[in-house]
């Protein structure tokens, strides 16, 4: 007999975990479905990454997060969220991908690559780290071009072009430089991004000014070959020798998935999904959004510390609706 869950949560990141905890506290039957390991997105962050937020701001459900420094590293976050899942015995299915969700007769039918489920409500908490913003230039499909960065050791002694001006790009540029890579930093705008971590921004500016890292401002990429990368800077083409390209130009939510579910998305460049800011319910009754996915292309708008409240808002609305009924 097919179990009908009160709620199925798509995404096992920190906010999906928070939703599972809140559902459990409210006596709701629930299932968290995650296509990779626990907190899959965090697992794919650079191995040396340090959060902008302090550890207490990354806590969920008032469970203490103790880190060696005020701002924790990636591995400390993996340990923290993993222990929450295991200690609370959350009902989470890992390495299971949701292929389709349909609403029929007031309930949702969920089909994955492993099983099928039925649920009264759905929470989509899938974040934005799965789909990179592509350069759309010739050569981007070469093996030497990557959109995710892990560890600088791999690039030691190599000519590396880092594309981007945000935290991920700046961290990669500095780490690769310090492990012996010859780094070129390619930035579309006139300066290093304003939202770069405040203790990192002076570091990259100093490395650029002293010539340790060559920066190309107001520059775009025209093409990439096995041996070089061609830039357009100050209306002139410049070709520089290159071994690897780290195209760290940001990521975006899976808008196709949302639209397939029937969620309305704004037609402007922000691509904001429609939801009630008081309940997080979308234009589809019983379908909720939680976490960074709520910001559309404004991926800096929502993050762990200011979206963990979404779990309480959603469960409060579900419980109050069930009482009303």
Concatenated DSSP letters of 229-295? EEEEETTEEEEEE-SEEEE---EE--HHHHHHHT--B-SSTT-PBPB-TTT-BBSSTTEEE-GGGGG
Average pLDDT estimate for 287-311? 91
**pTM for the model:** 0.88
Instruction: Return the sign of the alpha-carbon dihedral for residues 9, 13, 19, 23.
Output: positive
* CB of 82 closer than 8 Å to CB of 43: no
Rounded to 10 degrees, the C-alpha dihedral 40/41/42/44 comes to 90
How many Cα atoms occupy the beta-carbon half-sphere of 26 within 13 Å?
Answer: 24
Q: What's the confidence (pLDDT) of residue 325? A: 47
Rounded Cα–Cα distance for residues 97 and 40 (Å): 12
Please indicate whether residue 246 or residue 197 has the higher confidence score (pLDDT): 246
Q: Give first-to-last CA distance, the chain, whole Å.
A: 25
Rounded Cα–Cα distance for residues 29 and 16 (Å): 15
What secondary structure, in 3-state letters, does 162-211 show? EECCCHHHHHHHHHHHHCCCEEEEECCCCCCCCCCCCCCHHHHHHHHHCC
Average pLDDT estimate for 254-281? 94
* CB of 276 closer than 8 Å to CB of 28: no
- In the predicted structure, residue 321 carries a pLDDT above the cut 80: no
Q: Which domains does the chain have, with CATH numbers?
A: 4-131+251-324 (3.50.50.60), 134-247 (3.50.50.60)
Rounded to 10 degrees, the C-alpha dihedral 288/290/292/296 comes to 10
Q: What confidence tens digit (pLDDT) does each residue in 23-54 have? A: 999 999 999 999 999 999 999 888 888 898 99
> How many helices (H) does the chain have, and how many strands (E)?
8, 17
- In the predicted structure, residue 316 carries a pLDDT above the cut 70: yes
Q: What confidence tens digit (pLDDT) does each residue in 75-125 have? A: 999 999 999 999 999 999 999 999 999 998 889 999 999 999 999 999 999
């Amino acid at each position: 007999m097919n179990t009908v869950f009160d709620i199925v949560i798509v995404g096992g990141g920190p906010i999906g975990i928070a939703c599972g905890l809140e559902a459990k506290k409210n006596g709701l039957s629930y299932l968290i479905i995650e296509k990779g390991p626990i907190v899959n997105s965090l697992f794919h962050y650079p191995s040396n990454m340090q959060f902008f937020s302090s550890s207490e701001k990354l806590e969920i459900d008032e469970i203490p997060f103790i880190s060696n420094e005020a701002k924790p590293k990636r591995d400390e976050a993996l340990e923290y969220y993993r222990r929450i899942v295991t200690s609370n015995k959350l009902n989470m299915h890992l390495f299971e991908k949701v292929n389709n969700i349909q609403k029929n007769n007031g309930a949702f039918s969920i089909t994955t690559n492993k099983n099928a489920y039925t649920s009264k409500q759905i929470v989509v908490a899938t974040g934005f780290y799965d789909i990179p913003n592509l350069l759309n230039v010739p050569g981007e499909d070469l093996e030497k071009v990557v959109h995710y960065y892990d560890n600088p050791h791999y690039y030691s002694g190599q000519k590396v072009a880092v594309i981007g001006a945000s935290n991920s790009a700046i961290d990669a540029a500095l780490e690769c430089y310090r492990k012996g890579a010859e780094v070129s930093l390619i930035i579309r705008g006139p300066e290093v991004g304003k939202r770069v971590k405040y203790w990192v921004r002076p570091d990259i500016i100093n490395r650029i000014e002293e010539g340790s890292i060559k920066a190309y401002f107001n520059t775009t990429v025209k093409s990439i070959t096995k041996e070089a990368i061609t830039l357009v800077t100050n209306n002139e083409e410049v070709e520089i020798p290159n071994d690897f390209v780290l195209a760290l130009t940001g990521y975006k939510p899976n808008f196709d998935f949302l639209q397939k579910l029937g969620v309305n998305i704004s037609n402007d460049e922000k691509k904001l999904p429609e939801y009630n800011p008081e309940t997080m319910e979308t234009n589809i009754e019983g379908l909720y959004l939680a976490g960074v996915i709520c910001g559309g292309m404004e991926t800096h708008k929502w993050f762990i510390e200011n979206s963990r409240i979404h779990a309480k808002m959603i469960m409060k609305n579900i419980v109050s609706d069930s009482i009303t009924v």
